[in-house]
Structure formats: structure tokens, C-alpha cells
A and B are shown apart, each in its own frame.
Chain A
Amino acid sequence: MNSPGLADTPPLHAITARHTRGRLVHRHRWPIRLMHWINVVALTILFMSGLQIFNAHPSLSLGNRSDPGKEILALDARMGANGQLVGVTRIGRHEFVTTGLLGVSAGPDGQPQVRGFPSWLTIPGPRWLAMGRQWHFFFAWVFVLNGLTYLGYSLATRHFQRDLVPTRQDWRGIGRSIVDHLKFKHPHGEEALRYNILQRLAYLVVIVAGIGIVLMGLAMSPRMDAVLSPMVEAVGGRQTARTIHFILAWGFVAFVLIHVFEVIITGAFNQLRGMITGWYRIDAEPATNETTSATEHRHD
């Protein structure tokens, strides 16, 4: 390491000042940054209040009906031989004991309680469907309005066309990009400013998933179904729509995990600064400790 004194955690502005050799570029414009963080809040609350709503009927079905015994997923509970509650997760015909996490977990008093997802994953923590719905529908509006603004802004400023739609060259490099990602190799310098093919595809898929999850949410509304029923029937029915809504929600979780992982291994502080202040440092030298292995990874 040739950057001294990074073991302690200096304030961000100090890092910026110290790396005079590095070049700070203004990477993300403020509307994108603002919308990104609004999305973080909205998605977190939507996910956790969504699990609260799911807990009121902790199973998934296909079609238009929820016939007992035909669930494709069920978070259930039964009484064990010793009189203890046992949490059971059923996927199709397979059954798993998931006490403590799914089916049965600690309630507010610490005692085992019958509930689909545990209280630390739901908003509100205790079982409270009415309040979960209040949170969910409020932040659904935040998510939808933020998403529409993002799409409009990205199209108007050509951010979408320029940075997200893959070029022919991007497509040609997909094989190498996959291998690089698997080896945790990441571009440096100017190259790092450009979204690579997998990033572009990931963001495009997330946008489509965002539209999809809203539509599947609307498909659960009996009033909206008076006009949306062709769409509801096209996906297979209201319960199928609910199942897709659930799967897409977990898809967002998977995206966020990968996204945060990539942020960390490509320099969490630099990336966070980029998304908070807009300023992103590109440097041929290893920037911070998070990119220690950059030297041996440099391939261009």
C-alpha cells in the first residue's frame, strides 16, 4: 500500500483533499443521486411492510384462487412432540423445519410466535396488517412517482440511451465482462466511468422489474381489476400476480445484495461519495484499501 494513513477513517473531505494525484470527476448529477436515495428508503419500507402484509396470509398460490392444500409456498406452524411450536416452510410438497426464522419466530415478548416472516423483517415489527398497508401504499406512491421522474429525466437527458442501453461493442464484450465479474476484476481510470454491459443489463432489468412489481401490485386491487382484468388473466390470475409480486420483491433484494457487494469491492467510500456528492475519483493508483488488489488485476 502506498497510501499512508488510511487505516484510520478520515472524514470524506479529507480523503478527497489528500489524493491530489487522483482526478475527481463529477459522475452523478444531483437529480439521479436524490432519486437513488429516495429509492433506497422507499424500497426498504416497501419490502418490509410487504412482508408484514404477506404474513396475514403467509402462503402463495397460482391462478385466481387460494385453494387450501394447493399452495406452492407456505410458511406454517405445527405443534412439536414436546409441545413446542415448530415453524415449517413448505415449497410444493417439500417440507423444511425453519423454526426461529420462518413460520415460528420470537414475538415482542421473546416467546415463540406463529408468524410467516420474523418481526425484525417487517414494518411494523408486531403483527399489524392495517398499519403495514398504510406504510406500503404510502411508499408505493413514493416509489412510483420517483420511478416515473427517474424515467422521464433519464430519457430527457439521454442518460438512459447513453449509459444504460448497451452498444453493439458492449454486447461483443459480454463474455469477457462475465469472466471479469466472476474474478472480481474491475476497470480503473476512465474505463470505470462507463457502465459495463452487465451493469447496463442489470439496471435495465431492474427498471423492467420495477414496472412489473407495480403492475402486479395493482393486479391485486379488486377495483383496478375492473379495468386490468385482461392483464391479470394474462399472467394467470390474481394469486399468480401476488406470487410474481413476491418473487420480484425478493429479486430486488438479490439485486441490492449484488449491487452493494460490487460497491464494496470497487471502493465503498469512493462509490458512496460518488452517489452522495457526485464526485468520483478515478486514479491509475490503487485508490483506497478496498481496491488493494487493483495492481495485479489491472488488465488494460
Chain B
Amino acid sequence: MTDRRSFLRLAIGGAASLVLAGCDRISESSWGPKVLNKAQGLNRRVQALLAPSSALAKEYTEADLSPVFRSNGTAMPTTTAYQALLANGFRDYRLQVGGLVDRPLSFSIDDLKQIEQVAQITRHDCVEGWSAIGKWHGTRLSHVLDKVGVQAKARYVVFHCYDEMDPGEPYYESLDIPEARHPQTLLAWGLNDKPLPIKNGAPLRLRVGRQLGYKQAKYIARIELVDSFAHIGGGNGGYWEDYGYEWYAGI
């Protein structure tokens, strides 16, 4: 019957717009995101169970390389500190490693190369959905951590970067110790048999085999070992995390 049809149509249309408006209200409420975020803890625990922390990301071959490894986010940091380093071809660059360590140290790119030089061909998966494959040259972060001696109370490795997403808002990221010590976690200074391009994070960036692109901080200035990142940036452990992205980016 037309009455019944129009009633149905009205009911369905009304329900749909209510659902939409409702979802947007929940998204902007203080409690909604907290409830939805419960799933993230579950993801982290279940993924740790299914894919143990020792599991390795797939490594590809030279034939699989992306013709061009695209850049996302900052492609050229504008801070004076970075521009000064760039002007001198990064010869004055020193990676500072401090915080909860026994021996705070600084490393030039050559120092890192002296520790070790490894190469890996892995896939880079962006939170937006795209993927690219690159051959990364670097030094495993675990070896650098061994040099400085990580104190027992340290729980996270924080990467402070030269690039500012907005003036006064430097990019930063963090990993927990097991992820930082994963054999595919590199401090990368080369890409595809060449020095790391500026748009991809020169002179030094992070490569994490099993997390999304935003974890892989570019333009690293210093590394800090902490027991909590609550006092850093917005307190969520990373630039994008402060904008609502998950700290654990395994999915």
C-alpha cells in the first residue's frame, strides 16, 4: 500500500540520517572515541598473540622496488637548525641519544655506518592506504641502543625530529623497547643504493618493518629513552597520535 510504502521509505530514510548524525555526534563527544578506542587495545593484544614480536616483515627483491618512492608529510623541513645542516651537506649532523641511558652519546652518519651497514627491501604501508617498496640501508636501532646502554626503567624510545608540521609543533614518534629492538627496526641513512633523499627524511629516518608509515619518523634530530611519554608533545606518543591516530600502528 502506498501509505505503508511511504511509511517504510520515511522510516528507512529517517533511520539512515539519524545513524549518520548520531555517528558524527558520537565522534565529537568525549566518551565516544574512548569507547571505540577500546578496540585498539584489543587489536594490539591479539596481534601480539597472532604475530609474535619476533615475527619478521616480508622482505622483497630488487625487482619489486617502487619506481619512485613517494614522499608524504614534510618533504623539506624549514627549521633553521635543519637548513643549517643541509647547507653543509649534513657533515655537522650528530644524532643525539640520551634520556634513560648509561652513556649519552652522539653519532655522525659515518659513526652509524661503522657500527654496521645492513640493507633490507621492505614494503612501506601508509595509514592512507597506499604502499611502496624501497631498499633501505641503515644501522639496526638495537645496536645503537646497546652502545648507550638502556636503563632498566626505560620503556619507550622517543624520536624527536627536525621538521615542524605547524610552527612550534615538531614531528615526533615513539616505539616501545621490544619494537625498537626488532631486527627490522633500522635507523636508515640510505634508500635504493643512494644517500637518503631529503623528501624521504635525510639524513636519518626510522624504518619499522611492521607498522604504518607515520611511525617511521623522518629527519631524526635526537633519540630519548623515557619511562613515559605523557610529558612529550600532546602526551600520546607521537605527532599524529596527538591528532587521534593510534599509537600502535600495526593495523
Chain A interface (Cβ within 8 Å of chain B)? 6-9, 44-45, 48, 53-54, 56-57, 61, 64-68, 120, 123-126, 128-131, 133-135, 137-138, 140-141, 220-229, 232-233, 238-239, 242, 264, 268-269, 289-290
Q: Is the CB of B42 within 8 A of A141?
A: yes
Interchain CB contact (< 8 A) of A138 among B39, B56, B132, B212: B39
Interface string of B36-59 (1 = CB under 8 A from A): 111110110001001100011110
CA distance A9 to B4 in the complex (A): 6
Q: Is the CB of A56 within 8 A of B128?
A: yes
Q: Is the CB of B210 within 8 A of A129?
A: no
With known contacts A124-B24, A130-B245, A226-B210, A65–B131 Cβ distance under 8 A: yes
With known contacts A138-B38, A223-B250, A225-B210, A56–B131 Cβ distance under 8 A: no
Interface string of B105-127 (1 = CB under 8 A from A): 00000000000000000010111
Q: List 23 A-B contacts (CB under 8 A).
A: A7-B3, A9-B1, A9-B7, A56-B129, A57-B126, A57-B128, A57-B129, A128-B27, A129-B127, A134-B27, A135-B23, A138-B35, A138-B36, A222-B251, A223-B51, A223-B211, A224-B50, A224-B51, A226-B51, A226-B57, A229-B57, A238-B131, A289-B1
Instruction: Tell me which residues across on chain B come within 8 A of A222, comparing CB atoms.
Output: 57, 123, 125, 209-212, 249-251
With known contacts A124-B23, A134-B39, A222-B125, A227–B133 Cβ distance under 8 A: no
Interchain CB contact (< 8 A) of A238 among B23, B56, B125: B125
Interface residues of B in 1-49 (CB under 8 A from A): 1, 3-4, 7-8, 19-20, 23-24, 27, 33, 35-40, 42-43, 47
Interchain CB contact (< 8 A) of B128 among A44, A68, A129, A228: A129
Q: Is the CB of A227 within 8 A of B51?
A: yes
**Most chain B CB atoms below 10 A, which of A6, A128, A134:** A134
Instruction: Tell me which residues across on chain B come within 8 A of A229, comparing CB atoms.
Output: 57-58
Q: Is the CB of B27 within 8 A of A141?
A: no
Q: Is the CB of A130 within 8 A of B243?
A: yes
The number of inter-chain residue pairs (CB within 8 angstroms) is 147
Q: Is the CB of A137 within 8 A of B210?
A: no
Q: Is the CB of B131 within 8 A of A239?
A: yes
Rounded to whole Å, the gap between the CB of B45 and the closest CB of chain A is 12
Q: Is the CB of B250 within 8 A of A221?
A: yes
Rounded to whole Å, the gap between the CB of A233 and the closest CB of chain B is 8
Closest B residue to A126 by beta carbon equals B24
Rounded to whole Å, the gap between the CB of B198 and the closest CB of chain A is 20
Q: Is the CB of A137 within 8 A of B39?
A: yes
CA distance A239 to B131 in the complex (A): 7
Interchain CB contact (< 8 A) of B40 among A9, A67, A120, A137: A137
The answer to whether B66 has its CB under 8 Å from any CB of chain A is yes
CA distance A130 to B242 in the complex (A): 11
Instruction: Tell me which residues across on chain B come within 8 A of A242, comparing CB atoms.
Output: 129
Instruction: Tell me which residues across on chain B come within 8 A of A7, comparing CB atoms.
Output: 1, 3
With known contacts A65-B66, A123-B20, A125-B20, A227–B128 Cβ distance under 8 A: no
The answer to whether B246 has its CB under 8 Å from any CB of chain A is yes
Instruction: Tell me which residues across on chain A come within 8 A of B251, comparing CB atoms.
Output: 137, 220-224
Instruction: Tell me which residues across on chain A come within 8 A of B66, comparing CB atoms.
Output: 65, 67
Interchain CB contact (< 8 A) of B24 among A125, A225, A269: A125
With known contacts A120-B20, A223-B251, A224-B51, A6–B36 Cβ distance under 8 A: no
Instruction: Tell me which residues across on chain B come within 8 A of A268, comparing CB atoms.
Output: 4, 8
CA distance A68 to B42 in the complex (A): 35
Closest B residue to A272 by beta carbon equals B8
Interface string of B64-86 (1 = CB under 8 A from A): 10111010000000000000000
Instruction: Tell me which residues across on chain A come within 8 A of B240, comparing CB atoms.
Output: 130
With known contacts A9-B7, A64-B64, A224-B250, A53–B129 Cβ distance under 8 A: yes
**Most chain A CB atoms below 10 A, which of B40, B47, B212:** B47
Interchain CB contact (< 8 A) of A224 among B19, B47, B70: B47
Interchain CB contact (< 8 A) of B130 among A57, A123, A126, A227: A57
